[in-house]
Amino acid sequence: MYTSQNFQIRDEETFSLCIPTDRDYKILQLTDLHLGFGMFSGKKDRLALAAVTELIRRTGPDLIVLTGDSVFPFFPKSGTMNNRKQAEKLLAFLDGFQIPYTFVFGNHDCEMGAACNKEQLAEIFATGKYAVFTKGRYEHSPQNPITGVGNFVVDLTDDQGKLLLPLILLDSNMYGDGWFFSGFDRIHEDQTDWCMEKLSERKVPAMAFFHMPPAEFKEAYEKMKLGDHSVIYEHGSIGEKDEYFGISNQPPHFFEKAVDNGWLKWIFCGHDHLNTLSLIYQGIRMTYGMSIDYLGYSGIAKQYIQRGATLITRKTDGNIDITMVPLTTVVSTRVRGAWWKAPPICMRMISNWYRWCRVLRSGHWRWC
C-alpha cells in the first residue's frame, strides 16, 4: 500500500490524497494492458510495457488509474492462467515509476480457471508499494456487502483538507450467470445505490472509473449520428467492427441514477479496445480510454490508431481537461487523407532526380 504524508486511509472504502493546487494535477488513465507474462506472450508483453513506459514518460502523471483487464490469464493467448504471477510482475513494473496508481477490475483479470479470484487478486494489488487500492465495499464485506470487489473512493483534497475532486472506483463485474456465454455484466443496483450515497455525501463534482461502458454510451452515440444536438462530441471515434459496444443486455440503471443525482460529471471506461470516443450526454462526459492491448484481440498488435492513454488534468482554477495521448504520432495517409510534406532538401533531391530521368528518356546527356 502507498504511504506518504499526503495520503490517508480513512476507512475500508475511502482514501484521501492531498494534491498540489499551485499547479496542474495530472491523472493518466491506462486501460486494457492485457499482460500475459506467460509462455506465448513475451514479445507482446515487452511491447505493452514499453508503450506504458513511453506514455508515462511523456505525460509525467501524478496518479495512474488502470481501468481493467490489466492482466490476461487466458492460456491460449498468454500461455498461463497464473494471474497471481501476472499481478506481482505488474506491480513490480508500476512501482518502478514511483507514482501512486490504482485499479479497477475488468472482465479478464480473473478468467475462469485462473489461479486467483477477484478477492485474492485484490489482496495482491493492495501490496504494491505505490498502490492506492482496497477491496473496499465488496460482496463478502463483514457489514453491508455489495456486488463486486474494489468499490472504493479516492478523495483528492487540498492541504487544508478541502475536498476538490472525488474519484469513485467501481467493479463493473464480469459476465452473467452463464459466465462468458451469458454476455457481459454491469454495475449492479446495490453498487449504484452505494455510489449515489457517496456522491450525495460529498456534494462535489466527481469522476467515476470502471471497465465496461454504460448502455447510454451507445445510446448517445446513435443519437449523435442522427444529428441530435443534445449530445456534444469531444474527441475520438468508434473503431470496433460494426460500431460495437461491449455493453450488458441487462436493464441499465447506473447512468440514469447518476443523472438524477447530479454530482457525477465524468465517466471513464475501457473494455472495447478500438473505441476512443468521448462525448457529453445529459450533463455527463463519457470517455473511452485509449487502450494498450497487443495480446487480447487477434491482429491488434499491427494496429496503432487506438493505442495510447487518456490524460485528465485538473487545472489550478479547478477546470478539467481531458485529452487523448496516442502512443505514436505516425499518420497513415490511407486513414487520415493527409499527404506527407517532405523537408526542402528532400524536395530538391526529388526534383533533381525527376529532371535526370527526363534527360535520360530524351537521350540528351546534360542538364536541361
Collapsed DSSP state (helix, strand, coil) of residue 150: coil
Q: Is residue 179 part of a domain?
A: yes
Q: Is residue 94 part of a domain?
A: yes
Q: Are residues 337 and 198 both part of a single domain?
A: no
Q: Is residue 2 part of a domain?
A: no
Q: Is residue 1 part of a domain?
A: no
- C-alpha cell recorded at residue 74: 487466458
Q: Are residues 54 and 73 both part of a single domain?
A: yes
Q: Are residues 11 and 135 both part of a single domain?
A: yes
| C-alpha to C-alpha distances, 10 to 15, 103, 281, nearest whole angstrom | 6, 18, 33
pLDDT at position 21, please?
97
Grouped pLDDT means (10 residues each) for the chain, 368 residues: 97 97 98 98 98 98 98 97 98 98 97 95 98 94 92 98 98 81 90 98 98 97 96 97 93 95 98 97 98 97 95 98 88 28 42 45 40
Q: Are residues 258 and 231 both part of a single domain?
A: yes
Q: Are residues 245 and 344 both part of a single domain?
A: no
Q: Count CB atoms within 10 A of the CB of residue 336.
A: 9
**Contact yes or no for 148/105 (Cβ under 8 A):** yes
* Domain hosting residue 232, numbered range: 7-330
**Contact yes or no for 255/248 (Cβ under 8 A):** no
- C-alpha cell recorded at residue 338: 493527409
pLDDT at position 142, please?
87
Q: Is residue 337 part of a domain?
A: yes
Q: Are residues 149 and 205 both part of a single domain?
A: yes
pLDDT at position 363, please?
47
pLDDT at position 343, please?
43
Q: What is the CATH number of the domain that holds 310?
A: 3.60.21.10
Q: What are the two backbone dihedrals, phi and then psi, of residue 48, each rounded to the nearest 5 degrees?
A: -65, -45
Total number of domains constituting the chain: 2
pLDDT at position 323, please?
98
* Cα–Cα distance for residue pair 193/148, rounded to 1 Å: 13
Q: Are residues 245 and 366 both part of a single domain?
A: no
* Cα–Cα distance for residue pair 46/21, rounded to 1 Å: 36
Q: Are residues 290 and 362 both part of a single domain?
A: no
> Which among 167, 263, 252, 170 is positioned nearest to 211, based on CA atoms?
170
Q: Is residue 354 part of a domain?
A: yes
pLDDT at position 182, please?
73
pLDDT at position 181, please?
66
> Which among 62, 31, 78 is positioned nearest to 269, based on CA atoms?
31
Q: Are residues 349 and 254 both part of a single domain?
A: no
**Contact yes or no for 289/271 (Cβ under 8 A):** no
Q: Is residue 16 part of a domain?
A: yes
Provide the 8-state DSSP code for 306. Answer: T
Instruction: Return the residue matching grid coordinates 455493453.
Output: 247
- C-alpha cell recorded at residue 163: 475536498
Q: Are residues 320 and 337 both part of a single domain?
A: no
pLDDT at position 251, please?
86
Q: Are residues 325 and 338 both part of a single domain?
A: no
Q: Is residue 176 part of a domain?
A: yes
Q: Are residues 84 and 208 both part of a single domain?
A: yes
Q: Count CB atoms within 10 A of the CB of residue 252.
A: 16
